[in-house]
Structure 1
Amino acid sequence: MTDKWKNQGEGDKESARKYNEKTEAFAKSGKVEAAAKDAKEALSSDEREELLKAEKAGKSHAKH
């Protein structure tokens, strides 16, 4: 088995590291305000119901 597919078990550190790096890069990119504005506009559009349905579906999988 190659390192690329190595099972890290619960709490995958490699995926967490990649997520953290990409999140930090986005936060520093200067694109946050524009993304927030787009999201706000989407919630005020015909997309609203679809977005709320997707949010509810995502939350149903969350651990409490």
Structure 2
Amino acid sequence: MKSGHQQDKPEQDSELQGEGNYDATRRYDQKLRRFVQSGQVPEAAERAAPRSEEEAREMEQAEEEGRSHARK
């Protein structure tokens, strides 16, 4: 039995992989657009918000750590 989610399957014949996987990028962009248009962004942001001052500090430290590894 085939599901209606054929677009979710990775393309077997893609020539490029990793950062150059155009099919994966296209699928991600489509899903991101659908999520934004769904109106669920405010609820998701609320669920992702820190629940305490300690958690907020940990999140900020993690963000700073990530930025320190970014290319300049």
Shorter-chain TM-score bucket reads 0.5 to 0.7
- What fraction of aligned residue pairs are identical, expressed as a percent? 35
Verify: 1:21 aligned to 2:30, yes or no: yes
Please identify runs of 4+ aligned residues in structure 1 that moved more than 6 A. Answer: none
Structure showing greater radius of gyration is 2
Unaligned runs of 5+ in 2: 1-10
Residues 7-64 of structure 1, C-alpha deviation per residue, up to 9 Å, x if partnerless? 515532122112101211210222101122334x41x623112211222233234344
Kindly tell me the number of residue pairs found equivalent between the two proteins: 60
- TM-score, L = length of structure 2: 0.55
- TM-score, L = length of structure 1: 0.59
2:55 aligns to what?
47
Unaligned runs of 5+ in 1: none
